[in-house]
Amino acid sequence: MANAKSEGAIIRSSETGRARGPQEITLHGRSVAVVLSRDDFDQLASTHQSLVEFIQHSPLYGLEDLILARDKNLTVVAQT
């Protein structure tokens, strides 16, 4: 019986997700998952461009005077 109740809740949540957007699932008042439509998932999961294309579309791409500095110190200081 509990399994059928859970399945019913999941179906209702997925139907609501299609109609109203992502639905948050909580357990003991804590967010543990999100149910969203397949269309929303596909949009979030798809990559329409390669890494090279992504970098080429960066507002910093092609800047000749861009200075990137990094700390070359190999000492790691533990934070307490």
User: How high is the mean pLDDT in each 10-residue block of the chain (80 residues)?
Assistant: 64 66 88 88 82 86 83 74
Q: HSE, CB side, 13 Å, CA atoms: give it for residue 2.
A: 0
pTM of the predicted model, to two decimals? 0.41
Taking the C-alpha atoms of residue 36 and residue 20, their distance in angstroms, rounded to an integer, is: 9
Q: How many residues does the chain have?
A: 80
The predicted pLDDT at position 35 comes to 86
- C-alpha 22/C-alpha 39 separation (Å) is 11
Alpha carbon distance 50, 62 (integer Å): 18
